[in-house]
């Protein structure tokens, strides 16, 4: 695991940890190629509903997840493919979910916006902006209540900070944090826009990290395009939250290169030039360049990774395509529990 | 930026001009989409009364995710076309306050699914203020937006809310099935003095129909309409399911000579049952069609009213056609099973006719 330097926020890249970073680069390239494949399949009509991709924001999820360990739980919004993939979900099953197939991570019942993979720590993608923040705070309480040292990570967009549940979740997390009962890392994926509304037009205070201080939660900004910066902060913050049980908020300043969703084609709220300018800070290129400088990663190495990523994404599409639809009686399964009351074990008794 | 200009003309409070006199276009009709009919209604009312304004998420610069508000920011400026943060409770709550002071806000929900976030503001505030103030204040406002199943929008984005809202006294609940009704009912909603929940069918936005040009054309609340006459079976419906019911009625008439009378409820609160009773008295059989889940739904209310009032006229129990009682699944095959379609309506008609 790459170590965060104590004195600096940025994670260290040296020869010793180069293999790990090379793996991370490979994962980010794969997430990019996977997302591109989802956009193509959406246009072909193979994927339905709403599709929100993570292109441009990869360093956030990949940077945060690197600081997590088994048992930690993740909650996020509908822009959730990268969250699942970075946590280690099977890409075949993620793609199958988007195709609405029975082999999907949520059995084809959730789709793009509602990926769940509890085995890998993903407690869901949610479609109502901000609705999951309270769930995540409750999950963090549960972790401590159960005597675990796990943490919860809750991702959300800049736009989610304007809805009531944000404020309710933050205040309760802040309060519970006083007792060390809320080990949660809130991660603002500040990509500059809530659909077609820029941060300046939707938030009275544009310093988003500062807004959580009103709830006695420490917050800080990080360059969300630079995975070393994200990872450095994440390593320190996750460790601290794990130790103290107090919430913390990271504002990752990032940018989405694609539209808000697959239907957002015209994008009247921003110029092509603006998008181009941000493409110069492509998180994949930033990591790739550093790996080239420090450990001699070559263009050929990257090309090999990219070819692998393209093929892996194509395989996921193939798997999804060949999987069967959910059986018709799945319609009525999972509405309410079909199993009886759970017995209380000896160590759960008061 | 373009959206900043031209600046909105600022009316003083209470200084709104009276209705413009417009050349008489009383009998003229134009073909319009349901979407354009809704926009026309809002723009005509904004032209007529400076107290009318609209707010919502991405309705201005972005011109609406369903393009209902296209061109409105440009025409009326940012004081009357307010882009809001993602804050449904905030939008509705501030609209209630504006309405109490005499403005006539329209709140656009990106979809009605998000209005649940504002349920407290709608149900505990908008719906109560007139009553518990002993009638001291009007709350003239409209909460409008699309609802219903789309294509694979999954459990949180496919819901219908007519019975949810219609359960509560103190608000009106409207669900138009045609472009003309969309326009006429929305104008009534904007001109009225009470909170209105205006439920648009997302799937009907592109549907075209004849709409009166007359800027004073309105459709009153509480007047159900006979959308097709028939003598054999009464089909009661509203919104998109009304269109499906009409299609079934046409098919059964031409294929088998079964004549269904189709009734469009148009508004669920107030609910006008008289045309339904008259029809059942003629046909003696009724089918109620709704997209929403069956338990505690509009169809249950209609069926109960029929039994309470014209029980002796019935030759068969009232049949209900509804969505399946499950959260909406994402997979297309399951989604098709979860939502009602023409064959289910046809089956229900046969059932009340004891023809299998
Ligand atoms: C309560 C609610 N209101 C509106 C929407 C429609 N909507 C979906 S995503 C979105 C923008 C969210 O922006 P942000 O939170 O910044 O996240 P991003 O999409 O940029 O990742 C909106 C308005 C919704 N899903 N839920």
Residues B324 and B208 in one domain: no
Quote the CA–CA distance of A23 and B79 in Å, as a whole number: 52
Which residues of chain A, if any, have pLDDT below 50?
1-7
CA atoms A327, A331, A334, A337: torsion sign = negative
State whether residue B188 is helix, strand or coil. helix
**Residue A197: which of B58, B117, B326 has the nearest Cβ?**
B58
Residues B196 and B54 in one domain: yes
Residues from chain B that touch A162, judged by Cβ atoms under 8 A, are 85-87, 90
Predicted complex ipTM: 0.92
Residues B62 and B207 in one domain: yes
- Structurally, how many domains does chain B consist of? 2
Does residue A255 line the site of ligand 1, with CB under 6 A? no
How many C-beta atoms surround the C-beta of residue A18 within 10 A? 16
Q: What is the pLDDT of residue B7?
A: 32
Report CB contact under 8 Å: A128, B333. no
Phi, psi of A199 (to 5 degrees): -55, -40
Quote the CA–CA distance of A37 and A91 in Å, as a whole number: 12
- The residue from B162, B189, B212 where one domain ends is B212
For B246-258, b/e burial (b = at least 16 CB within 10 A) is bebbeebeeeeeb
Q: Among A273, A275, A272, which residue's Cα sits nearest to residue A192?
A: A275
- Mutate-to-test residue for ligand 1 from B84, B86, B159, highest number of ligand atoms within 8 A of CB: B86
For B165-201, b/e burial (b = at least 16 CB within 10 A) is bbebebbbbbbbbbbbbbbbbbbbbbebebbbbbbbb
Q: What is the pLDDT of residue A350?
A: 77
Distance to chain A for B155, nearest Cα, Å: 7
Quote the CA–CA distance of A16 and A300 in Å, as a whole number: 21
Residues from chain B that touch A201, judged by Cβ atoms under 8 A, are 61, 83
The CATH number of A49-278 is 3.40.50.970
Report CB contact under 8 Å: A195, B58. yes
Quote the CA–CA distance of B96 and B92 in Å, as a whole number: 6
Residues from chain B that touch A169, judged by Cβ atoms under 8 A, are none
Whether B217 maps to a domain, the answer reads no
Q: What is the pLDDT of residue B15?
A: 32
CATH code at position B347: 3.40.50.920
Residues from chain A that touch B88, judged by Cβ atoms under 8 A, are 163
Does residue A80 line the site of ligand 1, with CB under 6 A? no
Report CB contact under 8 Å: A163, B333. no
Whether B263 maps to a domain, the answer reads yes
Residue ranges of chain A whose CB lies within 8 Å of a chain B CB: 48-50, 97, 100-102, 106, 108-111, 113-114, 126-131, 159-160, 162-165, 194-197, 201-203, 263, 268-269, 325-326, 328, 330-332, 335
CA atoms A260, A265, A271, A277: torsion sign = positive
Decide the pairing of beta strands B225-228 and B260-264: antiparallel
Report CB contact under 8 Å: B87, A163. yes
Q: What is the pLDDT of residue B102?
A: 96
**By CA distance, what is B59's nearest residue in A?**
A196
Whether B20 maps to a domain, the answer reads no
Peptide bond into B253 cis (omega under 30): no
Whether B344 maps to a domain, the answer reads yes
Quote the CA–CA distance of A62 and A311 in Å, as a whole number: 20
Whether B59 maps to a domain, the answer reads yes
Residues B58 and B96 in one domain: yes
Q: Give the contacts of A300 (CB within 8 A, at least 6 positions apart).
A: none
Report CB contact under 8 Å: B58, A196. yes
Peptide bond into B6 cis (omega under 30): yes
Whether B27 maps to a domain, the answer reads no
**Residue B331: which of A126, A326, A335 has the nearest Cβ?**
A326
Q: What is the pLDDT of residue A105?
A: 98
How many C-beta atoms surround the C-beta of residue B317 within 10 A? 13
Active-site residue, from B57, B88, B162, B200: B88
Does residue A132 line the site of ligand 1, with CB under 6 A? no
Q: Whose CA is nearest to atom 18 of ligand 1?
A: A157
Quote the CA–CA distance of A335 and A118 in Å, as a whole number: 18
Residues B182 and B73 in one domain: yes
Residues B249 and B118 in one domain: no
Report CB contact under 8 Å: A202, B86. yes
Quote the CA–CA distance of A115 and A124 in Å, as a whole number: 5
Q: Give the contacts of B46 (CB within 8 A, at least 6 positions apart).
A: B52, B53, B54, B72, B76, B80
Q: What is the pLDDT of residue A2?
A: 42
Tell me which residue has tokens 């944090």: A177
Phi, psi of B145 (to 5 degrees): 170, 170
Does residue A195 line the site of ligand 1, with CB under 6 A? yes
Whether B326 maps to a domain, the answer reads yes
Bridge partners (DSSP) of residue A189 are: A157, A252
Residues B104 and B202 in one domain: yes
B239: which 2 tokens?
Answer: 């919104």
Quote the CA–CA distance of B242 and B245 in Å, as a whole number: 5
State whether residue A164 is helix, strand or coil. helix
State the DSSP code for A334. T
Quote the CA–CA distance of A119 and A96 in Å, as a whole number: 17
Quote the CA–CA distance of A283 and A260 in Å, as a whole number: 18
Interface residue B325 vs chain A (CB under 8 A) = yes
Q: How many residues does chain A have?
A: 350
How many C-beta atoms surround the C-beta of residue A304 within 10 A? 12
Q: Averaged in consecutive runs of 10 residues, what is the pLDDT profile of chain B (356 residues)? A: 31 34 72 98 98 98 96 98 98 98 98 98 98 97 97 97 98 98 98 98 98 96 98 98 98 98 98 98 98 98 98 98 98 98 98 94
Residues from chain A that touch B63, judged by Cβ atoms under 8 A, are 268
Report the separation in Å between the CA atom of B56 and the middle of ligand 1, taken as the mean of its atom positions. Answer: 13
Q: Among B238, B247, B240, B207, which residue's Cα sits nearest to residue B342?
A: B247
Query: What's the pTM?
Result: 0.93
Q: What is the pLDDT of residue A8?
A: 60
Does residue B57 line the site of ligand 1, with CB under 6 A? yes
Residues B176 and B66 in one domain: yes
- Helix H or strand E segment including B30: strand B29-33
Report CB contact under 8 Å: B332, A162. no
Does residue B335 line the site of ligand 1, with CB under 6 A? no
Complete DSSP assignment for A210-247: HHGGGGT-EEEEEETT-HHHHHHHHHHHHHHHHHH---
CATH code at position B39: 3.40.50.970
Report the separation in Å between the CA atom of B329 and the middle of ligand 1, taken as the mean of its atom positions. Answer: 21
Q: How open is the CA angle B52-B56-B58, to the nearest 5 degrees? A: 130
Report CB contact under 8 Å: A127, B154. yes
Residues B55 and B181 in one domain: yes
- Helix H or strand E segment including A197: strand A197-198
- Helix H or strand E segment including B343: helix B342-352
**By CA distance, what is B153's nearest residue in A?**
A49
Tell me which residue has tokens 């675990």: A148
How many C-beta atoms surround the C-beta of residue B208 within 10 A? 14
State whether residue B305 is helix, strand or coil. helix
A24: which 2 tokens?
Answer: 């991370």
Complete DSSP assignment for B79-144: TTEEE--S-HHHHHHHHHHHHHTT-EEEEE-SSGGGGGGGHIIIIIIITTHHHHTTT------EEE
Residues B156 and B36 in one domain: yes
Residues B319 and B185 in one domain: no
Phi, psi of A328 (to 5 degrees): -55, -35
Residues B162 and B262 in one domain: no
Residues from chain A that touch B117, judged by Cβ atoms under 8 A, are 128, 131, 163-165
Residue A212 · residue A156 · CB < 8 Å: no
Range of the domain at B266: 225-352
Q: Is B157 a catalytic residue?
A: yes
Q: Is B88 a catalytic residue?
A: yes
Q: Among B299, B293, B348, which residue's Cα sits nearest to residue B148?
A: B293
Tell me which residue has tokens 């099973």: B337
- Chain A contacts in chain B segment 97-156 (CB below 8 A): 113-114, 116-117, 150-156
Residue A297 · residue A95 · CB < 8 Å: no
Quote the CA–CA distance of A184 and A237 in Å, as a whole number: 10
Report CB contact under 8 Å: A111, B334. no
- The residue from B155, B190, B212 where one domain ends is B212
Q: How open is the CA angle B98-B101-B102, to the nearest 5 degrees? A: 90
Interface residue B217 vs chain A (CB under 8 A) = no
Q: What is the pLDDT of residue A3?
A: 43
């Amino acid at each position: 695991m790459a170590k965060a330097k104590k004195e600096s926020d940025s994670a260290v890249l040296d020869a010793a940890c180069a293999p790990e970073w090379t793996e991370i680069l490979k994962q980010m390239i794969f997430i990019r190629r996977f997302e591109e494949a989802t956009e193509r399949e959406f246009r072909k009509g193979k994927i339905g509903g709403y599709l929100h991709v993570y292109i441009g924001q990869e360093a956030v999820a990949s940077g945060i997840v690197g600081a997590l360990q088994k048992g930690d739980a993740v909650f996020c919004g509908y822009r959730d493919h990268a969250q699942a993939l970075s946590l280690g979900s099977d890409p075949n099953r993620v793609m199958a979910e988007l195709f609405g197939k029975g082999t999907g991570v949520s059995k084809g019942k959730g789709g793009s916006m509602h990926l769940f993979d509890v085995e890998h720590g993903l407690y869901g993608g949610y479609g109502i902006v901000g609705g999951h923040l309270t769930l995540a705070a409750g999950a963090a309480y549960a972790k401590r209540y159960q005597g675990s040292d796990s943490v919860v990570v809750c991702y959300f967009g800049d736009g989610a900070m304007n809805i009531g549940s944000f404020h309710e979740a933050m205040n309760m997390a802040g309060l519970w944090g006083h007792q060390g009962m809320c080990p949660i890392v809130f991660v603002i994926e500040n990509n500059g826009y809530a659909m077609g509304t820029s941060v300046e037009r939707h938030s009275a205070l544009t310093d988003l990290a500062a807004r959580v201080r009103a709830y006695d939660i420490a917050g800080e900004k990080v360059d969300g395009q630079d995975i070393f910066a994200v990872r450095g902060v994440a390593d320190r913050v996750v460790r601290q939250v794990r130790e103290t049980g107090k919430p913390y908020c990271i504002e990752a300043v990032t940018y989405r290169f694609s539209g808000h969703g697959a239907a957002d084609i015209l994008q009247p709220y921003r110029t092509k030039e603006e998008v181009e300018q941000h493409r110069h800070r492509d998180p994949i290129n930033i990591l790739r360049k550093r790996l080239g400088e420090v450990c001699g990663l070559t263009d050929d190495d990257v090309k090999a990774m990219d070819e692998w990523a393209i093929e892996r994404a194509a395989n996921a599409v193939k798997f999804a395509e060949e999987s069967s639809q959910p059986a018709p009686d799945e319609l009525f399964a999972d509405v309410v529990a079909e199993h009886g009351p759970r017995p209380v074990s000896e160590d759960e008794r008061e | 930026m373009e959206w900043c200009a031209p600046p909105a003309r600022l009316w003083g409070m209470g200084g709104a001009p009276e209705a413009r006199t417009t050349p008489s276009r009383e009998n003229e009709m134009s073909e319009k989409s349901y979407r354009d009919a809704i926009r026309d209604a809002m723009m005509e009312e904004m032209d007529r009364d400076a107290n009318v304004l609209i707010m919502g998420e991405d309705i201005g610069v972005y011109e609406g995710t369903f393009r209902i508000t296209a061109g409105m920011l440009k025409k009326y400026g940012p004081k009357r076309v307010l882009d809001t943060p993602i804050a449904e409770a905030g939008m509705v709550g501030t609209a209630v306050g504006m309405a109490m002071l005499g403005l006539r806000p329209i709140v656009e929900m990106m979809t009605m699914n998000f209005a649940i976030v504002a349920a407290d503001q709608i149900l505990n505030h908008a719906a109560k203020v007139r009553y518990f103030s002993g009638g001291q204040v009007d709350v003239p406002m409209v909460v409008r937006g699309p609802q219903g199943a789309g294509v694979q929008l999954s459990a949180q984005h496919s819901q219908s809310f007519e019975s949810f809202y219609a359960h509560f006294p103190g608000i009106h609940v409207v669900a138009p099935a045609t472009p003309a009704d969309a326009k006429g009912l929305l104008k009534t909603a904007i001109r009225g003095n009470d909170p209105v929940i205006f439920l648009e069918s997302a799937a009907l936005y592109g549907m075209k129909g004849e709409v009166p040009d007359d800027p004073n054309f309105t459709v009153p609340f509480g007047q159900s309409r006979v959308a097709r006459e028939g003598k054999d079976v009464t089909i009661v419906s509203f919104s998109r399911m009304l269109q499906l019911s009409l299609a079934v009625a046409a098919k059964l008439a031409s294929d088998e000579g079964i004549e269904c009378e189709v009734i469009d409820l148009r508004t669920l609160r107030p609910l006008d049952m008289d045309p339904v009773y008259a029809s059942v008295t003629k046909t003696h059989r009724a089918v109620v069609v709704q997209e929403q889940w069956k338990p505690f739904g509009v169809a249950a209310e209609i069926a109960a009213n029929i039994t309470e009032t014209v029980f002796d006229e019935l030759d068969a129990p009232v049949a209900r056609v509804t969505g399946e009682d499950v959260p909406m699944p994402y997979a297309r095959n399951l989604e098709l099973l979860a939502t009602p379609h023409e064959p289910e309506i046809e089956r229900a008609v046969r059932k009340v006719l004891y023809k299998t």
